[in-house]
C-alpha cells in the first residue's frame, strides 16, 4: 500500500472524529492530521513534540508501539475526567502510528439506558 493510499484511508476513517488524531512516524514527524487536529494547529511536517508543553509528552509510548508492533494505550487525567491515549501501529507501514486520545479535549455525554 502506498503512503498516499494510507493517508487517504486515514482521512476517510478519522477525518470527522471529535478528538485530534494524527499519523505520526517514529521520528515524531506528523504525516497526516484530522480536522480537529488541524483546527488545533497541528499540521503535517512538524514534530509532534513541538506541540504544547514538553511535559505533555512525558508519557509518550510511540516507540513502544512501533517496537512491539502492537497498540499501546494509557489512561491520564484529562480536562473532563479520565482520558485515554492510544498509539496504534499501521500494519502496512510499521514505523507509522495512528495517535489519538479520547476524553482529553471533548466532553462525552453518558448514554442513559431506559
Judge whether 108 lies within some domain: no
Total structural domains within the chain: 1
Judge whether 111 lies within some domain: no
pLDDT tens digits for 27-62?
Answer: 999 999 999 999 999 999 999 888 888 888 888 999
What's 84's domain CATH number? Answer: 3.30.450.20
β-strands 72-78, 21-25: how paired?
unpaired
pLDDT tens digits for 75-104?
Answer: 988 888 889 999 999 999 999 999 999 987
Domain range for 81 is 3-102
Reported pTM: 0.89
End-to-end Cα distance, the chain: 45
Judge whether 45 lies within some domain: yes
Amino acid at each position: 500500500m502506498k503512503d498516499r493510499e494510507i493517508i487517504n484511508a486515514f482521512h476517510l476513517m478519522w477525518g470527522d472524529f471529535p478528538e485530534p488524531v494524527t499519523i505520526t512516524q517514529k521520528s515524531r514527524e506528523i504525516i497526516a492530521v484530522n480536522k480537529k487536529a488541524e483546527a488545533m494547529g497541528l499540521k503535517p511536517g512538524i514534530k509532534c513534540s513541538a506541540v504544547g508543553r514538553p511535559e505533555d509528552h512525558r508519557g509518550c509510548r510511540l516507540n513502544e508501539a512501533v517496537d512491539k508492533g502492537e497498540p499501546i494505550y494509557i489512561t491520564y487525567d484529562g480536562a473532563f475526567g479520565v482520558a485515554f491515549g492510544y498509539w496504534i501501529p499501521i500494519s502496512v507501514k510499521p514505523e507509522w502510528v495512528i495517535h489519538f486520545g479520547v476524553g482529553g479535549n471533548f466532553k462525552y455525554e453518558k448514554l442513559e439506558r431506559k
